[in-house]
Amino acid sequence: MEILMSVIIGFLFMAAVYLLLSRSLLRVIIGTGLLSHGAHLLILTMGGFEGSAPPVLADGVTDFVDPLPQALILTAIVISFGVTALFLVMAYRAYQELETDNMTLLKGNDEHD
Amino acid sequence: MTNLLLFPVLIPFLTAMILLFFPKRITAQRAVTVTGMIASVIASTVLVSVVLRDGVQAVTLGSWPAPFGITMVSDPLSAGLVLTSNLITLAIVFYSFRSIGKGREKNLYYSAMMFMLTGVNGAFTTGDIFNMFVFFEVLLMASYVLIVLGGEKRQLRESIKYILVNIVSSAFFVTTVAMLYSVTGTLNMADISAKVSEIGQSGILTVIAVMLILVFGLKGAIFPLYFWLPSSYAAPPVPVLALFGALLTKVGVYAIMRTVTLLFPHDPGFTHELLMILAVLTVIAGCIGALAYYDLKQIVIYNIIIAVGVILFGVAQMNMAGLEGAVFYLIHDMLIKAGLFMLIGVIIAITGTSNLREMGGLMKTYPGLAWTWLIAAFGLAGIPPLSGFFGKLLIVQGAFEADNLWGGIIILASSLLVLLSVIRIFIHAFWGEPKPVKGTTAGVYRGLLIPAVIVTALTVMYGVGTEWLRPLMWDAAEILHQPSIYIDAVLKE
């Protein structure tokens, strides 16, 4: 299971890097989404897959999963959701204002305004 | 157990929440912000005195025992940084009244500022590595708003890159925390430190240490990772630039200081050597940048990068002198950078440009500004008795004690280049033939200059009062040098 998860996480990271390096801003944003998915799955994997019962206090249950990674993922998901929403809005606004979503045209400094 | 150390986090947070309810009423916005900031400054002053009197303060939220709940810790270093951040933000709030413009004030500018301060104070105070990630996100979200607020073309273009760099570095941060959790099984920094010294720093932990340096280095702008900083920071208006330059990179520097001294002090042959090399390269790259530009903003922005290198060089020595110097220099740099950015804001308001070639002769018309700039420039370069001197003296002393002769010499030589870079501004802007300038009203000039002069005066006091501040800095450096004090304070309760 750990091996399978590692391969999936690696694949997500690979796809994210490919998308981050592309020119279209929308692809870049999707890339950041995949990157955070990979990170979240990594937290899950790093917590370990031992334990069979949910981490709820009940009589007779001793073999429960580690609840902490789940709490961490929940927090990280909410944060990445918020950041992605903001990023999308900002990308749309930038597209309206600058009339391009091509990252190579978004270079430049004062002289190229 | 005391809740006092939560107040500098909670007061700006509540202020920001209140401000959200009436965004269009500027007078009320200003009044609430100033009230909240003064309360926050008072709370953090009390916190510093309590920490000095009673030692490290720790509180674990929800009354859980220490490694299980989220711990907040205030040692002299974090309390001092929290107080400095609050003072600087208060000064920048006053500075914003005359410079940020009504449009931004009506669109939650102060609210975003307070949220950012919440994140900064939280990141300085937290004792839990995942909680530190959360506070980083809080301050980053607020900084995304601040950098793009106003929606000029240039701001939009640069803020997209800024957000992208920070999202990637946040994803790395989460990845690193996950790995750290799998090795140590805990997220409480004191507990991690205790576990690491029990099980020994294996290879995987050194990899994690380097990943943490990478993550915080991206935020703090160390050598190969600073390329996003100059153009991003130059995009927003000057008060936002002052806030970013004084606080944001320093949070990254603080995080590196905390993690390499507390979590990973056992393999200095690799991690600290790496950090030292990167620090020296950062100083050199910053010096090149600071001398290359004829743009006021860029010159001072590259000086941020130089200062980051100097501080981390002190940290990498891992002896008392180096660490104490790093703490001294960190707080000095926050104050002086705020002062310098506020002063170039005044110059830009007067001349209407940030290009050095288009200005000159301001000495005749604005002597107060000129002399304040000269004092701030000397303070930045570290001419005794001004504030930059003592920190750099200790850092160089630490380098010589640790037999890093060349590093120490490069740090010393960089002071000269720093002085040259800011004196160039003095020569071009204040000396020479007066050139026609846009000018500004006396009210705006006073409104901008007074907060800047107050911050500069603070740096002068910081330099002159070195002996008086020494106990605080000594305590801070001792805790960095001997993590057991920190661990005991957190885990004993």
Output DSSP code: residue B245.
I
pLDDT band at A100 (very low <50, low <70, confident <90, very high): confident
Q: What is the pLDDT of residue B280?
A: 95
Identify the three-state secondary structure at position B73.
strand
Q: How far apart are CA B20 and CA B123, in angstroms?
A: 23
B71-74 and B57-60 strand pairing: antiparallel
Task: Say what the pLDDT of residue A38 is.
Answer: 95
Distance from CA of B151 to the nearest CA of A (A): 8
pLDDT in tens, A35-92: 999 999 999 998 888 877 777 777 777 788 888 888 999 999 999 999 999 999 999 9
CA B87 – CA B336 distance, rounded (Å): 12
Provide the token pair at B60.
């674990």
Which residue in chain B is spatially nearest to A98 when comparing CA positions?
B153
Under DSSP, is residue B118 helix (H, G, I), strand (E, B) or coil? helix
Give the model's pLDDT for residue B60. 87
pLDDT bucket at A109, cuts 50 / 70 / 90: low
Q: How far apart are CA B104 and CA B81, in angstroms?
A: 28
Q: How confident is the model at residue B87, as a pLDDT?
A: 95
pLDDT of B438 above 50: yes
Q: Do the chains contact at A46 and B167, CB–CB below 8 Å?
A: no
More confidently predicted of B458 and A98:
B458
Confidence of residue B18 (pLDDT cuts 50, 70, 90): very high
A88: distance to nearest CA of chain B, Å?
Answer: 10
CB contact under 8 A, A91 and B144: no
Chain A residue closest in CA terms to B183: A46
Say whether B295 and A110 touch across the interface (CB within 8 A): yes
Span B387-410, mean pLDDT? Answer: 92
Query: A60 to chain B, minimum CA–CA distance in Å?
Result: 23
Across the interface, do B171 and A47 touch by the CB < 8 Å criterion? no
d(CA A55, CA B138): 29
Q: For residue B295, is pLDDT > 50? A: yes
pLDDT of residue A110: 52
Residues of B in contact with A46 (CB under 8 A): 178-179, 181-182
> Does the pLDDT at position B13 exceed 50?
yes
B171 shares contact with chain A (CB less than 8 Å):
yes
pLDDT for position B163: 93
Domain boundaries, chain A: 2-49+64-107
Check CB contact of B68 with chain A, cutoff 8 Å: no
**Nearest CA among B60, B55, B53, B49 for reference residue B6:** B60
Please enumerate in sequence order all residues whose Cβ is within 8 A of that of A99, keeping only pairs 6 or more positions apart, or say none. none
Question: How far is Cα B244 from Cα B242, in angstroms, rounded to an integer?
Answer: 6
ipTM of the modeled complex: 0.93
Percent of chain B surpassing pLDDT 90: 65
- pLDDT band at A113, cuts 50/70/90? very low
Q: Which two tokens stand for residue A95?
A: 């597209």
As to burial, measured by CB atoms within 10 angstroms (0-12 exposed, 13-18 middle, 19+ buried), residue B420 is: middle
Cβ neighbours of residue B10 under 8 Å, at least 6 residues apart?
Answer: none
pLDDT at residue B236, rounded to an integer: 92
Residues of B in contact with A108 (CB under 8 A): 157
Q: Tokens 């004092």 label which residue?
A: B375
- Domain extent for B386: 4-491
Measured on CA atoms in the order A43, B63, B122, B208, is the torsion positive or negative? negative
pLDDT tens, residue by residue, B66-99 = 788 889 999 999 999 999 999 999 999 999 998 8
Could you tell me if B61 lies within 8 Å of chain A, comparing CB atoms?
A: no
Helix boundaries (H) for B293-431: 296-317, 320-351, 362-365, 367-381, 388-401, 405-430
pLDDT beyond 60 at A112:
no
Q: What are phi and psi of B353, to 5 degrees?
A: -145, 160
Q: Is the peptide bond before B385 cis (omega within 30 degrees of 0)?
A: yes
**Mean pLDDT over each residue of chain B, to the nearest integer:** 91
**Which pLDDT band, with edges at 50, 70 and 90, does B162 fall under?**
very high
Greatest C-alpha distance within chain B: 68
As a whole number, mean pLDDT of residues B164-187 equals 92
Q: pLDDT tens for residues B226-242?
A: 989 998 999 999 999 99
* Chain B nearest CA to A59, separation (Å): 22
Contact B134 A110 (CB under 8 A): no
The predicted structure's pLDDT at residue B270: 86
Residue B283 one-letter amino acid: V
| Alpha-carbon separation of residue B207 from B211, B223, B270 (angstroms) | 6, 19, 10
- CB-nearest to B153 from A20, A28, A113 is A113
Contact present, B85 and B27 (Cβ < 8 Å): no
* Residue appearing with tokens 């130089």: B306
- Whether residue B181 and residue A46 make contact (CB cut-off 8 A), yes or no, is yes
What is A11-35 written as a DSSP string? HHHHHHHHHHTSSBHHHHHHHHHHH
A contact set with B (CB within 8 A): 20, 25, 28, 32, 35-36, 38-40, 42-43, 45-48, 68-69, 72, 75-76, 79, 82-83, 86-87, 90-91, 93-94, 97-98, 106, 108-110, 113
Rounded Cα–Cα distance for residues B151 and A94 (Å)? 8
pLDDT surpassing 60 at residue B117: yes
Could you say which of A28, A42, A69 has the minimum Cβ distance to residue B164?
A28
Chain A's closest residue to B231, CA to CA, is: A109
* Percent of chain B scoring above 70 in pLDDT: 100
Partner-chain residue, chosen from B144, B151, B164, that has the shortest CB–CB distance to A97: B151
Cβ-contact B353, B375 below 8 angstroms: no
Closest CA relative to residue B90, chosen from B78, B82, B101: B82
Number of domains in chain B: 1
Statement: residue B168 has pLDDT above 60 = yes
CA distance B231 to B236: 10
Q: Does B296 touch chain A (CB under 8 A)?
A: no
Main-chain dihedrals φ then ψ at residue B192, nearest 5 degrees: -60, -45
What is the C-alpha separation between A102 and A108, in angstroms, rounded? Answer: 13
The one-letter code for the residue type at B442 is: A
Q: Does residue B1 carry a pLDDT above 70?
A: no
Give the confidence band of B493 by pLDDT, cuts at 50, 70, 90: low
| Residue B228 Cα distances to A10, B5, B158, B301, angstroms | 26, 34, 9, 12
- CA B376, chain centre distance (Å): 17
- The answer to whether B423 touches B376, Cβ cutoff 8 Å, is no
More confident residue, A31 or B431: A31
CA distance B473 to A54: 48
Instruction: State residue B175's pLDDT score.
Output: 94
B184–chain A Cβ distance below 8 A for any pair: no
SS3 assignment for B126-188: ECEHHHHHHHHHHHHHHHHHHHHCCCCHHHHHHHHHHHHHHHHHHHHHHHHHHHHHHHHCCCE
Place of tokens 């206090």: A57
Q: DSSP states of B456-491 as a string?
A: HHHHHHHHHTHHHHHHHHHHHHHHHH-HHHHHHHHH
What CATH code would you report for A2-49+64-107?
1.10.287.3510
Residue B416's H or E segment, with its range, is: helix B405-430
A45-54, A94-103, B214-223, B464-473: least confidently modelled range: A45-54
